A = this chain, B = another copy of it.
Amino acid sequence: MTVKVAINGYGTIGKRVADAVSVQDDMEIIGVAKTRPNFEAFMAKKKGYDVFAPEDRIKGMEKANLEVEGSIDDMLERADVVVDCTPGGIGEKNKSIYEKAGVKAIWQGGEDHELAGCSFNAQSNYEEAIGRDFVRVVSCNTTGLCRVIKPLDDEFGVNKARVTLMRRAADPGDIKKGPINAIVPNPIKLPSHHGPDVKTVLPGIDIATTAVKLPTTLMHLHTVNMELNSECTAEEVEALLARQSRVRFVGQGITSTAEVMEMARDMNRPRCDMWENCVWNESITIYEGELYFFQGIHQESDVIPENIDAIRAMMEIEKDGTKSVSKTNKAMGI
């Protein structure tokens, strides 16, 4: 069976999900939807994707010499599942359209948990998504947290996690946002929403998060602190994280998020992305009985393999999460 996948919204996440779907042998892209005829729309066309648009935008697209295959309804008709990659908050409005079309749908972390009723991280709760019509792949930060909290909880028990999320304020191609030279506590009211968001995937975890926005575009950085239920050494934690296929250790002169992303460029991955959590294994420390470490999270791309696994679970073409993760990783080159 080849799953027919539609992408609604072809921006930062949508274009990456489209390319990741394209390299899987059990799914194919039947089209991508854009609202404006910008460079990304023309790039989609050039890559061979059929481009769709909302009914009232088709004329404008064609006037800009962008050939449009049909409306969004036309696209949904051909699809088994649609990955909604529209800006946060917009996706919610599309639910009735997907329901009417009888198509399964995946939303991203910008939407509320309640919209889909199932928040997803492949390594944490794959089985929850099996056969579901609606799933939400959690945000980049929540994905990054689940990837390390889940195995640590399974192995040692997480009594309490405290995380400071240092967020890149804008993506590299974004020229509208700041700050240029400041640190922005955001939200000022503590704790931040990221802790509760982790609980939508891992409800049993006690977690408190604080977050700031920073004048950088490359990656988020997490300072992770955890109280574990069983005593363990930094070496045991390092060995456990080393076994996680979507956690990568960084060292060898990599002292910042800039050098992590420079390495990603040298690896020549699509768009120079870094799909894995990047943990500085040198930072893994047990101090006064508590675990500490730093990890970098590439905000543009870490959720991409999770979207692929979500498709597989929802379509029930693979019931074993571990096997889906391996298959996705192999196809993408993780």
Contacts and interface: CB of A to CB of B under 8 A. Distances in A.
Given A221-B185, A256-B179, A293-B190, A208 B287 contact: yes
A218 interface: yes
Contact of A208 (B183, B188, B206, B292): B292
Interface string A188-215: 1111000000000000001010101011
Contacts of A218: 181-183
B184 A219 contact: no
A285 B191 CA distance: 8
Interface in A260-299: 280, 282-283, 285, 287-288, 290, 292-294, 296
Q: Which 5 A/B pairs are nearest by Cβ-Cβ distance? A: A182-B258, A164-B164, A184-B256, A190-B285, A183-B221
Contacts of A103: none
Q: Which of A179, A182, A256, A293 has the most CB of B within 10 A?
A: A182
A179 to B, nearest CB: 6
A255 interface: yes
A45 interface: no
Size range of the interface on A? 35 or more
A296 to B, nearest CB: 8
Given A166-B166, A181-B215, 14 more contacts: A181-B216, A182-B256, A182-B258, A183-B216, A185-B256, A185-B294, A188-B255, A189-B282, A190-B283, A190-B285, A190-B292, A191-B285, A208-B288, A215-B215
A255 B217 CA distance: 20
Contacts of A166: 166, 183, 212, 214
A258 B181 contact: yes
Given A212-B223, A258-B179, A285 B189 contact: yes
A162 interface: yes
B183 A219 contact: yes
Nearest to A250: B188
Contacts of A210: 164, 223, 225, 292, 294
Nearest to A234: B190
